[in-house]
Amino acid sequence: MKSKSNKITGSEALLRTLIAEGVECIFGYPGGQAIPIYDKLYDYKDELRHVLVRHEQGATHAAQGYARVSGKVGVALVTSGPGATNTITGIADAMLDSTPMVVIAGQVPSSLLGTDAFQEVDVIGITLPITKWAYQVRRAEDIAWAVSRAFYIASTGRPGPVVIDIAKDAQIGGVDYVYKPVHFVRSYQPWPEIDPERVQKAAALINSAKKPFALIGQGVILSGAEKELKAFLEKADIPAGSTILGLSAMPSDYRLNKGMLGMHGNIGPNRKTNECDVLIAIGMRFDDRVTGNLDTYAKQAKVIHLDIDVSEMDKNVKTDVKVLGNAKDSLREITKLLKSAKHTKWIDSFDTDEKEEYRKIIEKEINPVDGYLRMGEVVRKVSEATGNEAVLVTDVGQNQMMGVRYFKYTKTRSVVTSGGLGTMGFGLPAAIGAKFGVPDRTVCLFVGDGGMQMTLQELGTIMQEKLDIKIVLLNNNFLGMVRQWQELFFKERYSATEMENPDFVAIAKAFRLGAREVQKREELDGAIREMLNYKGAYLLVVNVEKRGMVYPMVPAGGSITEMLY
């Protein structure tokens, strides 16, 4: 029975605070130093759904997937020692991709801290460099405050991961529970005030532009600025390209959406970055995969940077105007000062690049007339079969690049992928979290044979939770992206990249998933229909060209206009 008085244990204070913060779902794995929390969780089964993952890394990636599609804070719960250290990759991934997540770890009793006790590890020391905040709780009376503060920090400003390390005696100690939500932290200013003078300078530059070009990052999605973005682009008639994480901020067929930026991005956006006269970066950080060689990046353009994180200003690309603030507010204020414009000739100039890319690359990838199945044609067929309305989840590698290139989007928050860290094994657990985040949407995961085997155990989570996730395994018996680099830059010396794989269909069936393998093109359409109509999780193994390539490609360190076809 739940306690009726205010005097409760630290574990119950934790759970009550999670509920007060709006948490409905936790991804976790129990262990010795978290047993008091799990014991009390037994009394809260109706209010907090716990999803038992098969590995703590899976808990963090599932929490990430949940956060990315729902806009809420993802929560992972683990024990001390290896339980906590197994979350490190997911925490680092969340930090680089600005994903709001709270990781709660059990810890040895405070009296044993520093004694090298069984399963003791310095969680705070390890995670400080890869979190927005990390804090160790040693007293039951500090739990509610620490957890509420964690949610405030994780979800405000530029979102990110927070770690709370709770000693076992704090979990079992008594406390007079009072929930006081945190809405202010001294020295932390998540919502910087927008400087009107900088807004005016930005608007003046845009109004004078003949060839403006906007770069759309995930900051637009995180701030809920999709409508403000469209109003901004429409008023000044500005074409736009997207980073991988910013892709679904605009529908794929939107007239001003000119495609993806970066190493495997579309030809037009990359070329036009080095032809525009005003470059407007919105909620993106000028990652090296987007810019290529900084010495040749957009040198002809005046650069305007809109971002909420001051540390990103002038970090990689020197800007002419910096507008610090939430993208939603910054766009709204700048749009007020814009003159209605038409840049028809400039926008039409993208058509030449689009036609070239279609002729040289896309048509061969999505409409091959013979030979082996291609990754791009599989991705495009699945996307079209869902009405282009599904959530795309990818792992990392060629499957990721083909996924984001050839999947299409009609709704925001439709791309879940590991951008900054590039974590193989991310896809399967992230798809689990995404399905919990948007249970009414179709979730399609594209994964390679390498990444699939890194977190294959999470098929057990899908089985136990009876999740309806559609998994497309693009199987080429290679670590495809590394093999591509070996082919292009290392004289085809395929060192440690060819894989002998198991029977994936048999494995899926052992986990009670629907499954099928496809080798021939004439089987593909029917197999996709079978997968999408299947009631429950389904693994479609598609054996694709072993030595397929993702083009175009900007070689690492090269100029973004020096693309390999």
Give catalytic residue positions. Answer: 56, 118-119, 168, 481
Residue 394 to residue 244: CA distance in whole angstroms: 11
Quote the CA–CA distance of 483 and 489 in Å, as a whole number.
10
Instruction: Quote the tokens at residue 158.
Output: 């530029």
Q: Count Cβ atoms below 10 Å from residue 348 Cβ, excluding itself.
A: 10
Cβ(52)–Cβ(121) below 8 Å: no
**Residue 498 φ then ψ, to 5°:** -80, 135
- Tell me the longest C-alpha to C-alpha distance in the chain: 72
CA 439/CA 13 separation, integer angstroms: 29
CB 96 within 8 A of CB 288: no
Handedness of CA 369, 371, 376, 382 (dihedral sign): positive
8 A C-beta contact, residue 473 and residue 447:
yes
387: number of Cβ within 10 Å: 10
Residues β-bridged to residue 166: 106, 137
Q: How many residues does the chain have?
A: 565
Rounded CA-CA distance 282/240 in Å is: 10
Q: Name the H helices within 247-294.
A: 267-273, 288-291
Distance of CA 498 to the CA centre of its chain: 28
| Rounded-to-integer distance, Cα 146 and Cα 152, Å | 10
What is the C-alpha to C-alpha distance for residues 270 and 298, in angstroms, rounded to an integer? 10
- CB count in 10 Å sphere of residue 364: 16
Contacts 24+ apart (CB under 8 A), 510-515: 511/459, 511/460, 511/462, 511/463, 512/463, 513/459, 513/462, 513/463, 513/471, 513/537, 513/538, 513/539, 514/538, 514/539, 515/539, 515/540, 515/541
Cα–Cα nearest to 554, from 130, 161, 267: 267
Q: How far is CA 4 from the centre of its chain?
A: 41
